[in-house]
Amino acid sequence: MKKGKKSSGGRYKKSRKKKLYELGRQTRVVKLGEKKTKVIRGRGGDKKIVSLSQKEVNVMVKGKAKKTLIKTVVETPSNRFLARQNILVKGAIIETGLGRARITNRPSQEGIVQAEILAEEKQ
């Protein structure tokens, strides 16, 4: 059946529209490139720093964080098309100066990229 339709063919009517606090924001895409961030106002005047593009990553190596450059996005398990466009998302495998790493945070929600070296690279 079509979305929003009953099995009889009739349509469902919404009881009300969404309120302002129920609305979502436009999705942000964090690309590989020069560092660009933006400050977004949240509810109650709270401020959130979000990334629009990043070129550096904090990589955890043996419990220590090291800052290095991102060379490219190798693969993205959630969506293979994101890797082709060099889009940084949580879980993406990236090539860095220290080897391959997996992004552990959500760059579109935070102003920085965090990652950990993959197991085969540690040995």
Q: How many CA atoms lie within 13 A of 21 on its CB side?
A: 2
Residues 117 and 8: their CA atoms lie apart, in Å, by 55
Summarize pLDDT for 80-112 with one digit per residue, the tens: 899 999 999 999 999 999 999 999 999 999 999
Q: Tell which wins on pLDDT, 42 or 60.
A: 60
- Residue 4 gets the label, from left (phi > 0), alpha (psi -120 to 50) or beta, of left
**Has this prediction a pTM greater than 0.85?**
no
Domains within the chain, CATH numbers bracketed:
27-122 (3.10.290.70)
Name, in order, each residue with C-beta under 8 angstroms of 6's C-beta and a sequence gap of 6 or more: 12
pLDDT in tens, 10-36: 998 888 999 988 888 888 899 999 999
* pLDDT of 69 above 60: yes
Q: If 0-12 CB within 10 Å is exposed, 13-18 middle and 19+ buried, where does residue 95 land?
A: middle
